[in-house]
Amino acid sequence: MSGLPQQSTKRPGRPALFDRDHVLDELVLLMWQRGYAAATQDEMLAATGLSSSTLYRTFGTKPAILEATLARYIAWADAMLAPLEHGHDGLADVRAFLAHLRALLEGPMGTAGCLVWNTTQDPVNTDSRIKALTDLYMQRLRTGLGAALKRATDRGELSPSMSEHLADAVRAGVVGTQARAR
């Protein structure tokens, strides 16, 4: 029937009067510094400048807010993980990763550790959506280190017997350093 109005897929209400990306960045910094459990609604509102209704209408529940912040944090981590995953220089790729990590640890967020690692220690990590993100990041770290060290072996920079377990040892050192920083 052509006389019926078309259903609109738009949500009712006014358009957002805030920059969603900026708000999400502020939520990442808050969750990273305070941790999921410690970050209060009042702190989220203060960090974002949003009302409670706008915050939850935009992002959903607190676990959904964490899911969005983890996804953003992992996107930020691409710059750090890229040399490991897609580099061409073996040990130089590992050094670039460690230099990036060192710069983070020496920067203003240095005492915050790693948002992903901190989240794995929280009961919220039993939420399947949260766990999928934390597992993805930790797997990227593991496989990225393995790939870079394999390139180093292929280039003759490491012996095959040495690189076999070195990726896990470096990953453990990285995670331990970030946990200690917290």
pLDDT at 161: 81
Distances (CA, A) of 170 to 88, 127, 155, 175: 19, 28, 19, 9
CA 150 to chain centre: 25
Query: What average pLDDT is seen over the chain?
Result: 88
Residue 4 has pLDDT above 60, yes or no: no
pTM of the predicted structure, to 2 decimals: 0.83
The amino acid at 141: L
Give residue-wise pLDDT tens across range 56-99: 999 999 999 999 999 999 999 998 899 899 999 999 999 999 99
Rounded CA separation 131/150 (Å): 28
Rounded Cα distance between 149 and 84, Å, is: 9
As a whole-number percent, the residues of the chain with pLDDT over 70 amount to 91
pLDDT in tens, 18-55: 899 999 999 999 999 999 999 999 999 999 999 999 99
Half-sphere exposure for 157 (CA within 13 Å, toward CB) = 17
Q: Residue 125 and residue 130: Cα distance in Å, rounded?
A: 6
